Structure formats: C-alpha cells, structure tokens
C-alpha cells in the first residue's frame, strides 16, 4: 500500500539558488553527482541519476515550491508515479528544505530510510558550501603598473637647448641669416649718429710753375698799335 513521509534539511544557500539549481540540468547534475535532465517549465519531462528517476513538472512557484512526479526504474507498470513536493523557506540566511514524498510504493521505503539524505541532502550541502567558499574567497588583483614619470623641460632648459642647436647649424646658414637680416637689424639711432662720409671731388688746378711759364698771347694784328 503506498505511503507518504516528510523529511527536512538545512541547505547553506538562498531558496532562489536551490530552486534554480534543482530545475537546471547542469546544476542538478553537479549538486547530486548524477546526470540529470531538468526544465523550469510546467509539464516538461525530467529525469535524474542517469535515468534511474524519471517524471514531470507538476507545479512550480519560483524560489518557493517545486512539485514533480517521480518513479524509478524499479516501479512496476501497474504502479502509479509518486509525487515529490519541495518547499523552500529562508531561515536566517540559509534554507529550510521540507520534502514531502507521497504515493510511494511500500517496497520503496529506502527513500525515507536514507536514500534522500545520501543522494540529495548531503551532496547538496557540500555543493552549496563549496560555492559559498568560492564566492567569499577574494580574487587576487594585480597591482597597477606605475607609469614612467614624464620628463618636464623648463622654459630655461628649452632656451638653452635651442641656443645649442642653433650654434651647431652650418656656417652657410649663419652667413645667409646675416645677409638677409643684418642691415635691417641696426637701430635708427645708430645710423643717425654715424659720421657722414666725405665726398671725393677732383678739382683740376694748374700749378704756379705752369702759370709763370705760360706766355701771353700776341695781340691780333691791327689792334692795340699806337698810331
């Protein structure tokens, strides 16, 4: 004759975490250790423990309640599915899981006598405890690499550098700069104070000896004779 029993367990996780893991294929497989195919849709077929358990989602209340039909490969064809109801309650940061298993065949009492504890509750406690430790453990962060200080050049240093660079220019460039800018660079005052240049004017004069040796011209005939 089928019977019903109730079990409780304290799981170190939030109700939402357990709800999601139970209805997720990967999460259910990892928290129990057996391959599972799960769904979060009402009416979807599910399986657990490598196909040993099969059933269907009957009722789902996110984060609070999961109701599934379950049967094992040991159920006879004439036996109806059993029903598993999981209720999740938050109690001081952990979850009180209350499991009611109904319509269980009389010869399947191993569920109550340790099957749920060894195949679900104990692995779930270990699974969520490990996850909590992974979250709590701080991830080492690499110290930021210090940037190389940039050299600041003062205005005075820049002026010296420019003067040094100008001194190293070829002489041809210096001569060219002198030709193009030297005449215009003289101040007006300097040009005004400069002594005026003397003009050289050649004056043709005859010497005194030349003047003495010069003979007087003879008077023209018919003129100047006394009568």
Q: Tell me how far apart the alpha carbons of residues 135 and 92 are, in angstroms, rounded to a whole number.
A: 19
pLDDT at residue number 83: 97
pLDDT at residue number 1: 79
- Write down the pTM of the prediction: 0.59
User: 26: which 2 tokens?
Assistant: 């990967």
> Sign of torsion, CA 115 118 120 122?
positive
pLDDT at residue number 111: 85
Contacts of 64 (CB under 8 A, 6+ apart): 15, 19, 87, 88
Q: Supply the CATH classification number for the domain 3-22+61-135.
A: 3.30.530.20
Name residue 55's beta-bridge partners.
Answer: 46, 70
Give the start-to-end residue ranges of the domains of the chain. Answer: 3-22+61-135
Q: For every one of its 227 residues, what pLDDT tens digit does the chain have, with 9 covering 90 and above?
A: 789 999 999 999 999 999 999 999 999 999 999 999 999 999 999 999 999 999 999 999 999 999 999 999 999 999 999 999 999 999 999 999 999 999 999 888 888 888 999 999 999 999 999 988 876 655 556 655 655 555 554 555 555 555 455 444 444 443 433 333 333 444 444 444 444 444 444 444 444 444 444 444 544 444 444 43
pLDDT at residue number 174: 39
pLDDT at residue number 152: 52
Residues in the chain: 227
pLDDT at residue number 141: 63
């Amino acid at each position: 004759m089928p019977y019903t029993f109730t079990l409780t367990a304290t799981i170190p996780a939030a109700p939402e975490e357990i709800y999601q893991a139970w209805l997720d294929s990967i999460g259910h497989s990892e928290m129990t250790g057996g391959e599972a195919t799960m769904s979060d849709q009402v009416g979807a077929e599910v399986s657990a423990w490598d196909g040993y358990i099969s059933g269907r989602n009957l009722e789902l209340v996110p984060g609070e309640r999961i109701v599934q039909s379950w049967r094992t490969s040991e159920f006879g064809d004439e036996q109806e599915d059993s029903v598993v109801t999981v209720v999740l309650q938050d109690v001081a940061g952990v979850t009180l899981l209350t499991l009611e298993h109904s319509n269980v065949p009389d010869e399947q009492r191993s569920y109550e006598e340790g099957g749920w504890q060894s195949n679900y509750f104990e692995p779930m406690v270990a699974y969520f405890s490990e996850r909590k430790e992974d979250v709590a453990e701080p991830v080492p962060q690499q110290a930021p690499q210090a940037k190389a200080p940039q050299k600041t050049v003062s205005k005075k240093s820049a002026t010296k550098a420019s003067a040094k660079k100008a001194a190293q220019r070829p002489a041809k460039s210096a001569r060219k700069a002198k030709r193009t800018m030297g005449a215009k660079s003289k101040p007006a005052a300097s040009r005004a104070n400069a002594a005026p240049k003397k003009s050289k004017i050649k004056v043709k004069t005859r010497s005194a000896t030349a003047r003495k040796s010069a003979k007087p011209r003879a008077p023209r005939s018919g003129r100047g004779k006394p009568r």
